[in-house]
């Protein structure tokens, strides 16, 4: 008789995780969290003083996840308060404002601050990072485009989402993917699943796209000295074309970079005898 009784499935154990938010003051960290947890948006800026702490429960597959969220103040003034909260973190929400270049450029220093506080034995490889390119509703003010943000994030193996705490765009998808990745990481013994471990493009490709974006003229873009010969221009062009050809390179922004290189070569060859 007993053999016919279907076994009750053991409920998966609940999980407790710690998540922190990082990024410059006023980029929208608190609003992103509020939008997700309270489904509302506050347009008045209320700077976080030191740290705000909250707990929320989410469901990922058959597991209940208890999330402790530490929402950090971005202002440098609060460094002494927030520096104690970096340790024992499973997930980081790294935010910048797409209309504030400074806040995008500051992402590296946020990682550096965390690394420093974790000390020589801290391991950032076992943490899930999600980059939020926030305030995408302010289209007129935008100065960092999607491919630039995505390239930065994906070349580090981080998740990337375009978000607006004001309209709610991207917020639920971002949190859902973020929590699933953290659970995957916990179930994988604290190691990032290998698929997410490495970007699908090389550092050389990412660096080259960035260099092309920032180049001051066509010579600079091709990486040749002003007044270089046709042969030199063609040689430099061929090297870049192989590296960035859309059939071979999937790095964000590679298509635009490839087009820019083609145009630069055409423009230069027109004027070289
Ligand atoms: P600190 O706590 O000082 O580090 O700032 P924070 O990053 O937590 O910024 P906060 O969430 O307080 O938002 C700063 C300002 O930006 C507020 O006036 C928000 O209303 C506004 N804001 C936040 N997200 C968005 C957004 O997606 N779109 C627009 N238009 N405004 C936003
Ligand atoms: Mg805040």
Ligand 1 contact, 28 CB (< 6 A): yes
Ligand 1 contact, 29 CB (< 6 A): yes
Question: Running along the chain, 273 residues long, what does each successive block of 10 average in pLDDT?
Answer: 57 86 98 96 95 94 94 94 92 98 97 94 91 98 96 94 98 96 88 61 93 95 95 95 90 94 95 82
pTM of the predicted structure, to 2 decimals: 0.85
In this predicted structure, what is the pLDDT of residue 8? 62
In this predicted structure, what is the pLDDT of residue 191? 72
Probe ligand 1: pick from 27, 31, 32, 43, max atoms within 8 Å of CB?
A: 31
In this predicted structure, what is the pLDDT of residue 3? 52
Beta-bridge partners for 70: 20, 53
Distance of CA 222 to the CA centre of its chain: 28
In this predicted structure, what is the pLDDT of residue 246? 85
Which parts of the chain are beta strand (E)? 15-22, 51-60, 63-72, 91-97, 128-134, 159-162
Instruction: Give me the interface pTM, i.e. the ipTM.
Output: 0.99
Helical axes 29-38 vs 171-187, angle rounded to 10°: 90
In this predicted structure, what is the pLDDT of residue 122? 85
Could you tell me if 108 and 115 are in contact, meaning their C-beta atoms sit under 8 angstroms apart? Answer: no
């Amino acid at each position: 008789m007993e053999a016919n009784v279907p076994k009750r499935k053991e409920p998966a154990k609940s999980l407790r995780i710690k998540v922190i938010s990082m990024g410059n003051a006023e980029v929208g960290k608190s609003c992103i969290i509020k939008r997700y947890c309270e489904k509302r948006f506050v347009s008045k800026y209320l700077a976080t003083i030191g740290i705000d702490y909250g707990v929320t429960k989410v469901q990922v597959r058959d597991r209940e996840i208890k999330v402790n969220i530490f929402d950090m103040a971005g202002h440098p003034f609060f460094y002494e308060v927030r520096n104690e909260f970096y340790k024992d973190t499973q997930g980081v929400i790294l935010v910048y404002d797409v209309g504030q270049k400074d806040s995008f450029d500051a992402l590296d220093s946020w990682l550096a601050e965390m690394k420093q506080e974790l000390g020589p034995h801290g391991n950032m490889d076992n943490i899930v990072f999600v980059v939020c390119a926030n305030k995408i509703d302010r289209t007129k003010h935008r100065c960092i485009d999607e491919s630039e943000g995505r390239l930065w994030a994906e070349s580090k193996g981080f998740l990337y989402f375009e978000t607006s705490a004001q309209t709610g765009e991207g917020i639920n998808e971002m949190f859902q993917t973020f929590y699933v990745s953290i659970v995957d990481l916990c179930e994988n013994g604290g190691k990032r699943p290998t698929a997410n471990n490495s970007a699908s493009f090389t550092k050389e490709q990412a660096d080259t796209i960035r260099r092309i974006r920032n180049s001051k003229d066509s010579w600079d873009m091709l990486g040749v000295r002003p007044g270089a010969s046709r042969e030199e221009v063609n040689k430099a062009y061929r090297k870049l074309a192989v590296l960035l050809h859309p059939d071979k390179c999937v790095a964000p922004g590679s298509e635009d970079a490839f087009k820019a290189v083609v145009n630069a070569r055409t423009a230069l060859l027109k004027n070289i005898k």
